[in-house]
Amino acid sequence: MKQTADPELACPVAPVVDIVFSRWTTPILWSLNTHGRQRFVELERRLTSITPKVLTQRLRRLERDGLVARTYYAEVPPRVEYEITELGASLGPLFAHLSTWADAHLPEVDRAREAYDGR
C-alpha cells in the first residue's frame, strides 16, 4: 500500500483544524460571533487569560485567513475594532455541532479518562 507523503492529502480536514482550532482561535471567533464588533480591550476582558501579545498574533492570523476584519479609525486616540467576517461566521454551524457533541459526549470522555487513569 502506497502512503501519501502529504498529511493534508491523507486527511482533508487537517488544514481546517490547523486554521480554526489552534489555541485561542476558537474563543476569539466565538466571542466575535456572540458579541459582535469589539475593540481589542473588550476581547482582552472577555478572554481573561490571554496575553496582549498572543491576542495580537491571533487576530492578525485570523485577519490574514479572512475570518476576522480589522477596522482602523484615525482619530485621537486611534481606535481599532474587530469583527467576524462572513467567512468566519460560516463556521457557526460547525461550532454549534461541536457544542452539541460536547454536551452529549464529554461526560463519557471524562469517565473514560477516569477509568484509564485508575488502571
pTM, 2 dp: 0.80
The torsion region of residue 73 among left (phi > 0), alpha (psi -120 to 50) and beta comes to: beta
Q: Where are the domains of the chain?
A: 7-117
What count of Cα atoms within 13 Å lies in the side-chain half-sphere of residue 9? 5
**Matching CATH number, 7-117, of 1.10.730.10, 3.30.200.20, 1.10.1750.10, 1.10.10.10:** 1.10.10.10
Q: Give the tens place of pLDDT for each residue, 65-79.
A: 999 999 999 999 899
Contact 68, 50 (CB under 8 A): no
> Is beta strand 79-84 parallel, antiparallel or unpaired with respect to 68-73?
antiparallel
Q: Give the tens place of pLDDT for each residue, 40-92.
A: 999 999 999 999 999 999 999 999 999 999 999 999 989 999 999 999 999 98
Distance, in Å, from the CA atom of 117 to the CA atom of 103, rounded to the nearest integer, reads 22
